[in-house]
Amino acid sequence: MEFLTSSRKEVKSDLRVVILGVKGGVGKSTIGLLLAKELCERGKRVLFVDRDQMGYASWIAGIKGKGLIASIVDEQRSDYFTEIGVGKGRLTVLKFYGDGFRLKKDLEVINLDQRRRELFARLYGEVLRLGHDVVILDNKSSTFPWSEEISLELMTYLKMFPGTPSFRIFITDPFIFNIENTISFARRLNDKKTGGSLPMKVIEQIMLINMVPFTKLEEIRNLTVGRDLFASVKLIPYFDQLFEFTGSVDKLPRLQEIKDIADEIERVSYRSS
């Protein structure tokens, strides 16, 4: 397997934007891509790391082959990342996992093989050295930072960019049961007994309630449960064109609600720099 090479000298990272949720099918990957596109339109260099084992975001970005981890395990070269010019910026999408239910076995192989672990660190490091201002991390449901599939990426990243702050976005659909479960999930992540010793700094977190029927917007907006946990609670109405979206990144719409989140990210990035 060959290594990437890069002549780009400026290597920095302002913020890790972590997409989280307790349920599949609520639009986490789509929201992540919408946000990545919006930040690129503003001139940002965005690295989108697809840590969801289904690889939907990678597929939208045109990556059809194996992800980084599967490529290393199978010792096969694969086009596991792509770069796309978007607006004034650049979007790099890395298919980190995305090869279905082989994930657990792949992690066992990587963790038991020092040579493969070193290869992973080198290859991921080469992608990171391409340069980015913001990294957006898409995840499968109910992902905890101390789990194997997350710590592999997290620890490697923080070795290159120690102290990079995190901005969490918890995404749910408008069903009350799922909103309550999302709040419980956020509370557990915030619990110092479970996550306080992790080497990361969370500077802000928000909740985004996605796919809200227009007839329910006011009702959901008036909910007060869990608001003490989040800097803000955003609502995105249900849009037919986004449900099971199959177009390319450049066909994604720009939504005011996503612009508001991008404003918030730029504000905290400036504050933490």
pLDDT of residue 194: 63
Token couple for 178: 């799922």
Q: Which CATH architecture has domain 15-272?
A: 3-Layer(aba) Sandwich (3.40)
Partners of 20 in the beta sheet? 170
Q: Answer yes or no: are the C-beta atoms of 168 and 202 closer than 8 Å.
A: yes
Instruction: Give pLDDT < 70 ranges for the chain.
Output: 1-11, 192-198, 273
pLDDT of residue 22: 97
Q: Domain locations in the chain? A: 15-272
Token couple for 95: 């298919």
pLDDT of residue 2: 41
Give the number of C-alpha atoms closer than 13 A to the C-alpha of residue 199, restricted to the C-beta side.
Answer: 13
Q: Cα–Cα distance between 101 and 11 in angstroms, integer?
A: 33
Q: Cα–Cα distance between 231 and 45 in angstroms, integer?
A: 25
Token pair 């796309």 is found at 84
- What's the whole-model pTM score? 0.93
